[in-house]
Amino acid sequence: MSPPREDNPIELIADARGGTDGSLGRLLLLYTNYLKFLATMHIDPRIRARVSPSDIVQETFYEAQRDFGQFRGQSEPEFLAWLRRILVNNLARQVERHLLTKKRDVRREVKLDEIGASMERSTMRLGAILVDRGDSPSGDAARSERAVILVDALAELPADYRDVLVLRHVQSLSFDEIGRRMERSSGATRMLWLRAMERLRPLLETRGLR
């Protein structure tokens, strides 16, 4: 089991802006699981067999390091939003590369909007698992940060536990629908979900979530 992250994102952002060696690399590593999860969820199904989520994340990290001077935010939610915009562009670029012949086609803007909106929904749904959604002005930022912590915890679960939680909470499928996808009965799927939730809770508690 990997421990909760020890690096403070706010300090790393400040250190990276100040030019401290290695601070930007350490900052980006905090979001490896999060970006890979989003990339996996939002790769266009038509190119899924040809495109690796890990490669898209590496490209996103490369561009974030190259263009970090353009980042004007101070907080983790602002940095996450900036990373997601880079990721969305890279996902859309893969569609262009594999499916579209006109690089400046208006379809690219439509695809960017679609991917971006879908990614924001996924992030909000992730951040709502096992925590009070709340209605405070800072709710969206808090859910965004919780989503990162949650994805790190999900990465430690067995694949079937992770899958049932994602299908249930992120894709909002019924137990009958999940059962058909996972080739299980509805009752067996519900039991799998309960076991997955029980396994997830202590992982979240070690990371400060209840």
Mean pLDDT of 137-158: 78
User: Among 156, 186, 201, where does a domain finish?
Assistant: 156
- The answer to whether residue 170 sits within a structural domain is yes
Do 137 and 163 sit in the same domain of this protein?
no
Do 122 and 161 sit in the same domain of this protein?
no
Enclosing domain of residue 97: 9-156
Q: Is the Cβ–Cβ distance between 88 and 40 less than 8 Å?
A: no
pLDDT in tens, 87-135: 999 998 888 787 765 555 545 565 777 888 888 888 777 766 655 444 4
Q: Is the Cβ–Cβ distance between 200 and 210 less than 8 Å?
A: no
How buried is residue 129: exposed, middle or buried, by Cβ count under 10 Å (0-12/13-18/19+)?
A: buried
Concatenated DSSP letters of the chain: -PPPP-S-HHHHHHHHHTT-TTHHHHHHHTTHHHHHHHHHHHS-GGGTTT--HHHHHHHHHHHHHHTGGG----SHHHHHHHHHHHHHHHHHHHHHHHH-S-TT-HHHHHHHHHHHHHHHHHHHHHHTTTS----STTHHHHHHHHHHHHHHHHTTS-HHHHHHHIIIIIS---HHHHHHHHT--HHHHHHHHHHHHHHHHHHHHTTT--
pLDDT at res. 3: 45
pLDDT at res. 137: 39
Do 103 and 192 sit in the same domain of this protein?
no
Do 93 and 117 sit in the same domain of this protein?
yes
Do 15 and 45 sit in the same domain of this protein?
yes
Do 54 and 131 sit in the same domain of this protein?
yes
pLDDT at res. 114: 83
pLDDT of 70 higher than 90 = yes
pLDDT of 153 higher than 80 = yes
Task: Report the number of distinct structural domains present in the chain.
Answer: 2
- The answer to whether residue 3 sits within a structural domain is no
pLDDT at res. 175: 96
Do 17 and 51 sit in the same domain of this protein?
yes
Write the CATH number for 90: 1.10.1740.10
- The answer to whether residue 2 sits within a structural domain is no
pLDDT in tens, 4-50: 556 799 999 999 999 999 999 999 999 999 999 999 988 888 888 88
Write the CATH number for 174: 1.10.10.10
Do 118 and 14 sit in the same domain of this protein?
yes
- The answer to whether residue 4 sits within a structural domain is no
- The answer to whether residue 1 sits within a structural domain is no
Mean pLDDT of 65-77: 93
pTM for this prediction: 0.83
